[in-house]
Amino acid sequence: MSKHSEHPFEKVLAVSKEDIRMTLKAMGEVPWAEFILNPRRLRGSDFLMRWSQGVWSEERLTQAVNATDKYFALPYGPSGTAPDDDVRAFELYFERLEKAGLGNIKRPDLLIYRTRDRSKVDAAVKALNGISELPFTPEDDPKMQNLLEHAIIAVECENSLWRAKQMPNYASPLTPQKRLGGRYGLKKTAVVPTIIIKEEDREPLKVWQEKRKIPIHVWHAFFDEAYGISLVDAERLFVRGDIEPTVQVFQAPGGATTRKVIYKIYYHHAYHLATTTEEPKLVADSITDKNGHILPYVRFVGGKFQLGATALAVLDAV
């Protein structure tokens, strides 16, 4: 596993090489793949599409929580509070975070609150000079404590460019697996919806959860469905051997590759979180670098998720 330190911009936009191949494998070589985005290089529309998908999925999950009228979501981690409509502004935001020495601090992407506490949360955010300033404020600051004390759960967001229900082994039952010591799972080559947790995030999230006394859940959004699991339940699966670690190669926007250990939790172990009730439009867009090179990509616009009954029951039980 690579131990080199990744810039936060590189880390948040790192893409599994498996996903890159599946996204654009039919396009062949593209002449604009080496363009320069001041000052860091992106290597094709695959990264811009992934950035757009990440922004879209996080906003749709926030919208779904807010639509319940019982709960609302607040962007909290760096990726959630960063600019969401301009990839260059997104990059410069992480440059600022890095210069402030806060680029490698791990925080969950969202905080979930009860609607009855909205006025207190709004006042806390205002005292901190707005949502975009949250990653630049130490959590030990008393004003941050005012923000955190009302949160019922924190959420780490992941997403995948798949329609979950069309994945080849969707609805396949778990069966005893020899490699898992007889524990229930699927064959290694099975293609099903999974919730992904990176090993590099596992310990920092556990430390954050213990220190802040706020339970963390991981929410993974697909194009049509979303699933969730608590970090406590995920850890139980890892310790029991129900989910084995796997190694994947990730490629950063600058081209560097890193081997990372990840856990792919079958959706069978998760709770159903949300369903897409209105699909987004895929809109052609482009950015132009400082040298005049144009990079086209497809971005996600609109659409709606609706939180499911199981997810509401999970929130009600906190």
pLDDT value at residue 94: 79
Copy the structure tokens of residue 310.
Answer: 């199981």
What's the structural domain count of the chain?
Answer: 1
How far is the first Cα of the chain from the last one, in angstroms, to the nearest whole number? 37
* DSSP assignments along 133-177, one per residue: GGGGS-TTSHHHHHHHTT-SEEEEEEE-SS-GGGSTTTTPPPEE-
Phi, psi of 17, deg, nearest 5: -60, -30
Does the N-terminal peptide bond of residue 39 adopt cis geometry, omega within 30 degrees of 0? yes
Confirm whether 75 is domain-assigned.
yes
pLDDT value at residue 3: 45
Q: Residues 40-64: pLDDT tens digits?
A: 455 556 667 777 788 888 999 999 9
Helix (H, G, I), strand (E, B) or coil at 303: coil
At residue 91 the predicted structure's pLDDT band, cuts being 50, 70 and 90, is confident
Confirm whether 2 is domain-assigned.
no
More confident site: 284 or 98: 284
Mark residue 51 as left, alpha or beta (left: phi above 0; alpha: psi -120 to 50; beta: remaining): alpha
pLDDT value at residue 5: 61
DSSP conformation class of 44 = S
Q: Does residue 31 carry a pLDDT above 60?
A: no
Confirm whether 1 is domain-assigned.
no
pLDDT value at residue 103: 64
Confirm whether 289 is domain-assigned.
yes
Confirm whether 14 is domain-assigned.
yes
% of the chain residues with pLDDT over 90: 56
At residue 26 the predicted structure's pLDDT band, cuts being 50, 70 and 90, is very low
Phi, psi of 195, deg, nearest 5: -100, 125
% of the chain residues with pLDDT over 70: 83
Mean pLDDT of 210-222: 96
Residues paired with 246 in a beta bridge: 262
Expressed as residue numbers, the domain containing 213 is 8-317
Query: Is residue 189 within 8 Å of 172, Cβ to Cβ?
Result: no
- Which among 101, 219, 86, 92 is positioned nearest to 153, based on CA atoms? 219
* CA atoms within 13 A of residue 203's CA, in its CB half-sphere: 3
Q: Comparing 20-34, 41-55, 145-159, 192-206, which segment has the lowest mean pLDDT?
A: 20-34
Mean pLDDT of 120-125: 97
Confirm whether 3 is domain-assigned.
no
Mean pLDDT of 188-197: 95
More confident site: 20 or 170: 170
Copy the structure tokens of residue 176.
Answer: 């005893």
* DSSP assignments along 69-132, one per residue: SSEEEEE-SHHHHS-SS-HHHHHHHHHHHHHTT-TT----SEEEEEGGGHHHHHHHHHHTT-GG
At residue 211 the predicted structure's pLDDT band, cuts being 50, 70 and 90, is very high
Q: Residues 268-294: pLDDT tens digits?
A: 999 999 999 998 888 888 877 667 777
Q: Residues 287-316: pLDDT tens digits?
A: 776 677 777 888 888 899 999 999 999 999
Separation CA 182–CA 127 (nearest Å): 54
More confident site: 222 or 3: 222
pLDDT value at residue 27: 41
**Torsion over CA of 267, 210, 134 and 201, rounded to 10 degrees?**
-50
| Number of neighbours of residue 293 by Cβ within 10 angstroms | 14
